[in-house]
Structure 1
């Protein structure tokens, strides 16, 4: 694909988007990022400069997932669209549609606009949560890109449902629509790695909460981890490799317990040792506390779960080697201290 055609990255002010923008700039592409307000543009430029990139190759367009205005102009003349924008609240809303509607409808808005202007390929940032909550699987199942979450399950959070519904809607759209872009999907696990500024992702904000001593105990949950730098590289490879079309890519390397995140925080920043969780809470206590703390509701589906998975496809089809979970979390913690955020 020619470098003259811009790569469009939606939700440009998000952590994954900033790294994706940097990845394409390093590869010689012009990038157009979408933002809800142009006031966000300068912070994105500063972030990509932190990545060692020249922001001269970066431009911006205003478009919002909640409305049709601006999307045709945003994706005009693009060869590749990377759709990263999607709400990820740290506290789950009372009304699930607050996150489901913009995730699903926003994805379809971007796909429809990309179809109208004949974009060749769209890479969608989905999530591992669109894989890990299938129904009827046997104990010990090894999860892969062949698995899809059952969004009708009553125990899922609005966020998990939103990512699953949005991804399924994207696959249905490209299958049913003549002239739709080729679709590739990235399904990252819990995203860590270096923060770039004080506009923290929900994943990074967890450490700020720990550093304030808000969680003296940790729920007993374990989840796959991925480094944002690997996530960005996966988006670029999925956009550029011809045989990546029509595929999903589960991006993760290893697992960590929430308690272990606190241990890494204390190991890297000994002055915070007294703030991090001291022990793990029984599941019944977490469920009781979640009645009062909406942030805990986000992790309720993880209680008692042991999700083993394979990342073979990202290695074989995208040619990537992934950073370890410990390395990703260590980089996150160190970056937050460097930025004087913890």
Structure 2
């Protein structure tokens, strides 16, 4: 496969991107990653090497979602672009456009460059939040890729709206633009699995918050979980399998509550027993706390919700055999201790 043109992975310094880069390297592809600053490149190389891959087969181009500079060079000569870059704030901003604009405009910027560069396929990293919040679904609804979040709902956070709007913009662009690349979309749920270095994803930061004893109690919410290793495999399969074109894929396996996540930390790291949350908060208390703690705003739409879903399409089309939620959370906990971060 040495003659294959390089695969482009945007936002190369992100957790999903690092694993995706490694997965492509294992398949014999060279990879060209985009970074906002070349200072990020060495950390990506170290992470890829840690995963047992040849970091010498990764090159880098500086390109920012907020500017046109660099994107033509980034996609030149490539047939596959995997667009993972997107903002994921720990706290929700006062102005939703701070998150929505870069997600939407950055996605369109990448798609325009890919179209001009005659790229054959783009794989977009979206999220299950672009699936799980439609309007008018009945109680007990089983969510699937056929569901689309209603971004006009007033109870949604800027992050949820940003992922939904960016994905919708991508589908609209590829359906209406002559010569646009094929599009496949990956919709991961709450991403867990092993951390690679100290540049943690927002989901992994949750463990550090627990380990510091910041919150003696947690909201009573559950969420689907995806292991980052499965998410990376899904991106690669969606890039390479013909049947993936024009489809979106919900990636997740099982459910996990925040309290159960803390109990996994206790099971794996008993020395943190005194730090992790001891009980679950009633919903009214969480809503009151959100008036003063912006981090709480992110989880308000989850209160009283359970997202039952099917991942049959990803298993069938992409050949995935996803890891369990417990395995993903356990791997995350162990990796953070090995990195001496908790």
TM-score category by the smaller chain? over 0.9
Distance in 2 (alpha carbons) for counterparts of 1:265 and 1:299: 21
Is 1:105 matched with 2:105? yes
C-alpha contact 1:3 1:30 (8 A) present in aligned 2: no
- Counterparts of 1:218-229 in structure 2, within 5 Å, are 218-229=218-229
Distance (Å, rounded) in 2 between the aligned partners of 1:237 and 1:108: 23
Structure 1 residue 177: Cα displacement: 0.3
- Give, in angstroms, the shift of residue 4 of structure 1: 2.2
Corresponding residue of 1:306: 306
How far did residue 2 of structure 1 move?
Answer: 8.0
Aligned to 1:33: 33
Distance 1:131 1:304 in 2: 17
Task: Tell me the distance in 2 between the aligned counterparts of 1:150 and 1:17.
Answer: 27
| Preserved CA contact (<8 Å) 1:142 1:308 | yes
In the comparison of the two structures, how many residue pairs are matched? 342
Cα distance in 1 between the residues matched to 2:186 and 2:180 = 18
Query: Which residue number in structure 1 is paired with residue 192 of structure 2?
Result: 192
CA distance in 2, matches of 1:296, 1:82: 31
Measured in 1, the distance between the counterparts of 2:206 and 2:296 equals 11
- Say if 1:177 and 1:250 are closer, same or farther in 2 by CA, change over 3 A: same
Aligned to 2:203: 203
Separation (CA, whole Å) in 1 of partners of 2:3 and 2:96: 40
> TM-score by structure 1 length?
0.99
Residue 101 of structure 1 deviates from its aligned partner by 0.3
Superposed CA deviations along residues 189-243 of structure 1, whole A, max 9, x for unmatched, are 0000000000000000000000000010010111000000000000000000011
Answer whether contact 1:249 1:313 (CA < 8 A) is retained. Answer: yes
CA distance in 2, matches of 1:3, 1:286: 55
Report if aligned partners of 1:81, 1:121 keep a CA contact under 8 Å in 2: yes
**Residues 82-134 of structure 1: CA distance to partner in whole angstroms, max 9, x if unpaired?**
00000001111111001100000000000000000100000000000000000
Structure 2: how far apart are the matches of 1:299 and 1:237? 31
Which residue is equivalent to 1:67?
A: 67
Show structure 2 runs of 5+ residues with no match.
none
**Aligned residue in 2 for 1:245:** 245
For the structure 1 residues 79 and 3, does the alpha-carbon distance in structure 2 shift closer, same or farther, using more than 3 Å as the test?
farther
Alignment of 1:1-342 (within 5 A): 3-342=3-342
**Residues 41-79 of structure 1: CA distance to partner in whole angstroms, max 9, x if unpaired?**
000000001100011110000000011111111111011
Tell me, what secondary structure is at the counterpart of 2:225?
Answer: strand
Which ranges of structure 1 fall in alignment gaps of 5 or more residues? Answer: none
Alpha-carbon distance in structure 1 between the residues aligned to 2:140 and 2:176:
35
* SS of 2:277 mapped into structure 1: coil
Q: Partner of 1:309: helix, strand, or coil?
A: coil
User: 8 Å contact 2:186–2:250 — kept in the other structure?
Assistant: yes
Deviations 1:152-198 (A, max 9, x none): 00000000000000000000000000000000000000000000000
TM-score using structure 2 length: 0.99
**In the alignment, is the contact (CA less than 8 A) between 1:3 and 1:28 conserved in 2?**
no
- Say which SS state the counterpart of residue 32 (structure 1) adopts: strand
Q: Which runs of 4+ in 1 moved over 3 A?
A: none
